[in-house]
Structure 1
Amino acid sequence: MLRKAALLLASMVTIGWVSVAMAADSAVQGNLLEAADTKASGEYAFSQCRQLQGEPFDARSNQKKAVIVGDSYACDFINSVQENGYLKDYQIRLRFIPYNCQTVAGEDAAKFIEAKDRAFCAKPERADSLERAKAQIQEADLVIFASRWKPAIAAALPQTLHQLGLTPQQKVVVVGSKFFGKISVRQYLRMPANELKTLQNEVDAEEAKAINAVLAKQLDKDVAFIDPHALLCGDDTSCPLFTDDLNLISYDGRHLTKAGARYVGKVLFQHSVLRQM
């Protein structure tokens, strides 16, 4: 009888663990399917940007002023801030300059935009510019540049910062590039949760690591540089795809899911100069 009771108890425990594992896998699959909806994920990625884009600072507010300048990676950065409640002491504004419209400041700006993109980039309702953003940038206490940096723009960034007329009293932060590689939700749906936890993607070093090395070398010491690739992926060319609680970090390899924004924000703010802000 005792042996039968022990076997029955063991079977019940086993069934319980299997049920828990199945429930966990089911939750992971649900999260994956939600992240795979690129329309919904894209709407999340840009919704905060639209609210902050081009808004002036409130002159009646006693809060400090922060302006974030960049492309869709700046939107990711804003989502990382909002998901974690960072920079609460600041009015946060965005100057959105699409990837194809990235320029340096000064007379040579136009040559950094391809001919096919110049008409689009010239429309203020579609794309901001450093020239139009300059006055608000000079007004801010904190200026954060975050982009999927083009090599030529990264190389010229010190010159750009000089042209913008920033003062020693302003805090200036440059957030480097990030890349999580090709995302294959269909493949992940076939994998058990314990494999997803350690899954990493091989990524092209030129996408983020090489450009971040240029930024780190070029920028003056009074500009704080944050290397997302180093903080999230380490010193190699493979990057994790899932948070510790098995949520997909990026839905397309470049832009963050809601869970990914929360995760990346904590990494950036807890392990860089941003923790002081």
Structure 2
Amino acid sequence: MFRKAAGLLASMVVWSMSTAMAAETSLKQNLMTAADTKASGEYAFSQCRALTGQTFDTTKSTKKALIVGDSYACDFLNSMQENGYLRDYQIALRFIPYDCQTVAGDAAPKYIAAKDRSLCATPERADSLERAKAQMQEADVVIFASRWKPEIAAALPQTLHTLGLQPRQRVVVVGSKFFGKISVRQYLRMPANDLKKLENEVDPSEAKAINAVLAKGLGKEVLFVDPHNLVCGDDTSCPLFTDDVNLISYDGRHLTKEGARYMGKVLFQHSALGQM
């Protein structure tokens, strides 16, 4: 009887160890997959490319949402789609690269560096607020999401005024985010419980300070959503992993698939986005 009990206990210990090892192996594999910048980069931009230049079917009564911005707009799109948010809307995207961010009006060219003006003037490679303006007028919801440059963030209230969006339209501005340097080799040596609690100190000028400018300057008629505040709190350190130990960002700025799913839930469940 004792031998049977001892054998059963030994089997349970072996099973438990095997299960733990399998879980650890799965965690490491998922981490390496998520940290693959080529694969995660393809994910980050694939849906963005598919919707860039998409037109609205104005014969349908379906509500229309237009997303305007750079690669952070692609992140927002993925965060939305991973969770099925705004699935009842027609969705289109106007991609304005980070280097081509500008304000609306005659002063726009001075906000683009001389080295980038050829790129930004080529419609096949870069959109602009001026070219997107007509489609903005068709949308029920216009969502601006970018890795905001300080000068563009400061000028955004005047830019929105110049664009002439109507009171009937819902205007959303999604602030910036930053998760700091990603160090995969370090994470691979750490147990899951430590990864759950792991945070990076981040430069406050990357997101926190810029979002403060946006929050102060935008009026009540604009819905401002602050990813830094919602994910990191009123702090200069940000989590790197979800509660189920998935890497949020593969390069410190852009989201993995699991990171997009996580971010979407945070943005829509903890802000007025969830009421749309």
TM range (shorter): over 0.9
Residues 57-72 of structure 1: matches in 2 within 5 Å?
A: 57-72=56-71
1:174 paired with 2:162, answer no
Q: Which residue of 2 aligns with 1:260?
A: 259
**1:55 CA displacement:** 1.5
In structure 1, stretches of 5+ residues that fail to align are none
Q: For structure 1, which segment, 41-50 or 16-25, has the greater mean C-alpha deviation from structure 2 after superposition?
A: 16-25
Q: Which residue of 2 aligns with 1:275?
A: 274
Say which SS state the counterpart of residue 60 (structure 1) adopts: coil
Q: For structure 1, which segment, 186-195 or 156-165, has the greater mean C-alpha deviation from structure 2 after superposition?
A: 186-195
Counterparts of 2:5 and 2:209, CA distance in 1? 60
8 Å Cα contact 1:197/1:242 also seen in 2 = yes
Q: TM-score, normalised by structure 1?
A: 0.97
**1:5 CA displacement:** 4.8
Say which SS state the counterpart of residue 67 (structure 1) adopts: strand
Counterparts of 1:35 and 1:144, CA distance in 2? 27
Q: Which residue of 2 aligns with 1:55?
A: 54
Superposition RMSD on alpha carbons, in Å? 1.2
Q: TM-score, normalised by structure 2?
A: 0.97
**1:135 CA displacement:** 0.6
Counterparts of 1:39 and 1:99, CA distance in 2? 20
Counterparts of 1:23 and 1:233, CA distance in 2? 31
Count of aligned pairs between the two proteins: 276
1:143 paired with 2:152, answer no
Cα deviations by residue, 1:182-221 (Å, 9 ceiling, x for unpaired): 0011111111112111111111111100100110000011
Q: 1:156 is aligned with what amino acid?
A: A
Counterparts of 1:110 and 1:224, CA distance in 2? 27
Cα deviations by residue, 1:60-111 (Å, 9 ceiling, x for unpaired): 3221010000000000000111111110121000010000000000110011
Q: Which residue of 1 aligns with 2:156?
A: 157
Counterparts of 2:144 and 2:122, CA distance in 1? 21
Counterparts of 1:15 and 1:200, CA distance in 2? 34
Q: Which residue of 1 aligns with 2:91?
A: 92
**1:6 CA displacement:** 4.6
Q: 1:70 is aligned with what amino acid?
A: G
Counterparts of 1:62 and 1:221, CA distance in 2? 28
Q: Which residue of 2 aligns with 1:220?
A: 219
Q: Which residue of 1 aligns with 2:45?
A: 46
8 Å Cα contact 1:138/1:164 also seen in 2 = no
**1:54 CA displacement:** 1.4
Cα deviations by residue, 1:155-205 (Å, 9 ceiling, x for unpaired): 000000000001111001100000011001111111111211111111111
Q: 1:258 is aligned with what amino acid?
A: K
Q: Which residue of 2 aligns with 1:246?
A: 245
Cα deviations by residue, 1:193-251 (Å, 9 ceiling, x for unpaired): 12111111111111100100110000011101000001111111111111111111110
Q: For structure 1, which segment, 8-17 or 78-87, has the greater mean C-alpha deviation from structure 2 after superposition?
A: 8-17
Give the percent of matched residue pairs that are identical in Structure 1 and Structure 2. Answer: 75
Say which SS state the counterpart of residue 126 (structure 2) adopts: coil
Residues 60-139 of structure 1: matches in 2 within 5 Å?
A: 60-139=59-138
Counterparts of 2:28 and 2:54, CA distance in 1? 39
